[in-house]
Chain A
């Protein structure tokens, strides 16, 4: 894997782009937990050149203050893809990135050959409300995100520092580390909130019918962030899609069952 910083709109945005593998390109958009080069991406990279940009506001990617709403975000991504020279390729999006992928695929159907959405945000149904992920406690969040709450990432999330419970002394090294962690989380979560607050519905249901490419909806069976009932709601709007519910997985399905999900995507690309 290599990482580079890509300038968009003459440096108004500096975007981290992770890239690995070889073969035909595949675009991956990360979710609310941010972007790392995971085992899942390694597995996708076995057959493809995987290109994974980090959304502005997450990590080192800058320019989030120029994005007011989902439409600004969509056009930013189109500019980034132009900059990277990417056309006619599959798009895979997870969680928040699943919402972005659906938006982009609806905007420019011809640009994307296949669409895979894993636990995407973007729809809302009053009878099946999406929990308020921004106000629940970290242990509750960990339980909603991961099927196995004893797993390492779930435990780390459940016990991460929280501003309201932490007295931090900025003059110590440990205090600085905590502050840096809190700043990074505040940045990434407030970026997510731009597109999800207070209800994660920015009108995607009016556009989703335009996603006519061969598509796939993937959901963790015990997702506590976006309930699995939303899989069928997405599928109902997308004419050429299949639904796969993955056992022993929750919202972080791509990391919880990387082999399973990568296999599903290979199956989609063969269609």
Chain B
């Protein structure tokens, strides 16, 4: 199994009464709460933590894109990935990803990712999310009814721009280009592996299976609700004859301490900050018309695609969040055992771990990163070694014990 460290780059200093005084951490989060000094510190600490994750032994580091959002300060994850491509030597640089339907023309994404792939020496994962309703429909004003159609066209254009050897013209519904001829081109041949982060839409499952992209279920719901979604994915995948666990990834919050008292003392308040303050999203932003497709609605997949991270909007305690599976917390042995069973139950070959979340301060984040990377990850790596990982960048490290990356000829 591959284990990657995910970072959201959250704003760690929202006021105590944020939830009471504001309706949303996203879209219309008040700008007067933003302090550039704090943001400056946050960006630099985030870069340090990503570096540290790479040094401590994670297989890859992941950054993602959010807009007008206080828990995700990376409207352009590519900027963070550029720094990491330069500073790290061997880990996968997983940009998770660029919301390709939002860029006009979408070849901007093809170009920037090609740059990242060249700078990193062929270590890039290209993430293509449809994007959350908050980011796309509200933050960027994208018409939710056209988003998936635009996404499909943008993906076709980007992949062709990477794969085709000759200049071509592109006459799309949304983008028309007389000359498609990107410079630079990706180092990986023909292009970086494509991972698609999703929130449980049927269309995204089908899309990943059809195109051979990795499907990553990214939510903060934890493994109990994640099981429901991944079962749905594997049902579709199995019907198409696919069962390789490396075809799928899953995100999980993890924190480690030596005993219960220490765990509560160190992580309870920060975990509650994340779930109660940072996931405080105005419900009216979660379901713009046309964002969910009719098929997804018909399948009754309502809660998993519309409630955001949690089953209800009520405040929750650390213990409740552990019980619900939102966070895996314990001693290294307990966490190892739990993550093993999560990976097995969900049948996932890529486990993405959030070690810094909510208001976890820099030093504690590093401690959590170090302990997870050194005391847990090595014991998980042997899982799924009987399968080949077709979704790993050609020049990213494959640490001892995990599945080999097939050569392009395979």
Using A163-B302, A167-B303 as known contacts, say yes or no to A189 and B290 having CB atoms under 8 A apart.
Answer: yes
- A-B contact number at CB 8 A: 80
Q: Which residues of A contact B292 (CB under 8 A)?
A: 163, 186
Contact residues, A173-194 vs B (CB, 8 A):
175, 179, 182-183, 186-187, 189-194
Using A170-B299, A198-B137 as known contacts, say yes or no to A163 and B289 having CB atoms under 8 A apart.
Answer: no
Using A164-B302, A164-B307, A189-B290 as known contacts, say yes or no to A135 and B282 having CB atoms under 8 A apart.
Answer: yes
A187 CB contact (under 8 Å) in B283, B287, B294: B294
Contact residues, A143-193 vs B (CB, 8 A):
162-170, 175, 179, 182-183, 186-187, 189-193
Q: Is the pair B300, A194 in contact by a Cβ cutoff of 8 Å?
A: no
Q: Which residues of A contact B282 (CB under 8 A)?
A: 135
> Does A24 interact with chain B (Cβ within 8 Å)?
no
> Does B144 interact with chain A (Cβ within 8 Å)?
yes
Q: Is the pair A135, B285 in contact by a Cβ cutoff of 8 Å?
A: yes
> Does A137 interact with chain B (Cβ within 8 Å)?
yes
> Contact size class for B?
20 to 34
Q: Is the pair A134, B300 in contact by a Cβ cutoff of 8 Å?
A: no
> Does B15 interact with chain A (Cβ within 8 Å)?
no
Expressed in whole angstroms, the Cα–Cα distance for A194 and B142 within the complex equals: 10
> Contact size class for A?
20 to 34
Q: Is the pair A190, B298 in contact by a Cβ cutoff of 8 Å?
A: no
Q: Which residues of A contact B294 (CB under 8 A)?
A: 183, 186-187
> Does A84 interact with chain B (Cβ within 8 Å)?
no
Contact residues, B221-273 vs A (CB, 8 A):
none
> Does B138 interact with chain A (Cβ within 8 Å)?
yes
B145 CB contact (under 8 Å) in A165, A169, A193: A193
> Does A37 interact with chain B (Cβ within 8 Å)?
no
Q: Is the pair B300, A197 in contact by a Cβ cutoff of 8 Å?
A: no
> Does B88 interact with chain A (Cβ within 8 Å)?
no
> Does A110 interact with chain B (Cβ within 8 Å)?
no
Using A183-B297, A186-B292, A186-B294 as known contacts, say yes or no to A193 and B143 having CB atoms under 8 A apart.
Answer: yes
- Nearest chain B residue, comparing its CB with the CB of A162: B287
Q: Is the pair A186, B297 in contact by a Cβ cutoff of 8 Å?
A: yes
With a 10 A CB-CB cut-off, give which of B284, B289, B297 has the most chain A CB atoms: B289
Using A68-B173, A190-B144 as known contacts, say yes or no to A179 and B288 having CB atoms under 8 A apart.
Answer: no
Expressed in whole angstroms, the Cα–Cα distance for A190 and B143 within the complex equals: 9
Q: Which residues of B contact A191 (CB under 8 A)?
A: 145
> Does B146 interact with chain A (Cβ within 8 Å)?
yes
Expressed in whole angstroms, the Cα–Cα distance for A220 and B205 within the complex equals: 46
> Does A236 interact with chain B (Cβ within 8 Å)?
no
> Does B395 interact with chain A (Cβ within 8 Å)?
no
B125-160 interface bits toward A, Cβ cutoff 8 Å, 1 = contact, 0 = none = 000000000000110010111100000000000000
Q: Which residues of B contact A198 (CB under 8 A)?
A: 137-138, 141, 143
Q: Is the pair B306, A164 in contact by a Cβ cutoff of 8 Å?
A: yes
A164 CB contact (under 8 Å) in B146, B173, B287: B287
Expressed in whole angstroms, the Cα–Cα distance for A191 and B289 within the complex equals: 8
> Does B286 interact with chain A (Cβ within 8 Å)?
yes
Distance in Å from the Cβ of B189 to the closest Cβ of chain A? 36
> Does A136 interact with chain B (Cβ within 8 Å)?
yes
Q: Which residues of A contact B146 (CB under 8 A)?
A: 68, 194
Using A68-B146, A135-B138, A170-B299 as known contacts, say yes or no to A193 and B173 having CB atoms under 8 A apart.
Answer: no
Expressed in whole angstroms, the Cα–Cα distance for A179 and B297 within the complex equals: 7
Contact residues, A185-221 vs B (CB, 8 A):
186-187, 189-194, 197-199
Q: Is the pair B289, A134 in contact by a Cβ cutoff of 8 Å?
A: yes
Q: Which residues of A contact B144 (CB under 8 A)?
A: 190, 193, 197
Q: Which residues of A contact B302 (CB under 8 A)?
A: 163-164, 166-168, 182
Distance in Å from the Cβ of B314 to the closest Cβ of chain A? 13
A170 CB contact (under 8 Å) in B138, B300, B307: B300
Distance in Å from the Cβ of B101 to the closest Cβ of chain A? 14
Distance in Å from the Cβ of B88 to the closest Cβ of chain A? 39
Expressed in whole angstroms, the Cα–Cα distance for A169 and B302 within the complex equals: 10
Q: Is the pair B145, A163 in contact by a Cβ cutoff of 8 Å?
A: no
With a 10 A CB-CB cut-off, give which of B138, B141, B290, B294 has the most chain A CB atoms: B290
Q: Is the pair A194, B145 in contact by a Cβ cutoff of 8 Å?
A: yes
Q: Which residues of B contact A194 (CB under 8 A)?
A: 143, 145-146, 290
Expressed in whole angstroms, the Cα–Cα distance for A198 and B139 within the complex equals: 10
Expressed in whole angstroms, the Cα–Cα distance for A85 and B144 within the complex equals: 35
Expressed in whole angstroms, the Cα–Cα distance for A192 and B144 within the complex equals: 11
A179 CB contact (under 8 Å) in B137, B285, B286, B300: B300
- Nearest chain B residue, comparing its CB with the CB of A163: B302
Contact residues, B12-36 vs A (CB, 8 A):
none
A186 CB contact (under 8 Å) in B290, B300, B307: B290
- Nearest chain A residue, comparing its CB with the CB of B299: A170
- Nearest chain B residue, comparing its CB with the CB of A175: B300
With a 10 A CB-CB cut-off, give which of A169, A170, A192 has the most chain B CB atoms: A170
A residues whose Cβ falls under 8 Å from a Cβ of B:
68, 134-137, 162-170, 175, 179, 182-183, 186-187, 189-194, 197-199
Known: A135-B288, A167-B302, A182-B297. 4 other contacts (CB 8 A): A134-B289, A197-B144, A198-B141, A198-B143
B residues whose Cβ falls under 8 Å from a Cβ of A:
137-138, 141, 143-146, 173, 282-290, 292, 294, 297-300, 302-303, 306-307
7 closest pairs, A vs B, by CB? Answer: A190-B290, A189-B289, A135-B284, A190-B145, A170-B300, A198-B141, A190-B289
26 contacts across the A-B interface (CB closer than 8 A): A134-B288, A135-B138, A135-B284, A135-B288, A136-B284, A163-B287, A163-B297, A164-B302, A164-B307, A167-B302, A168-B302, A179-B298, A179-B300, A182-B297, A183-B294, A183-B298, A186-B297, A187-B294, A189-B289, A190-B145, A191-B145, A193-B144, A194-B143, A197-B144, A198-B137, A198-B138
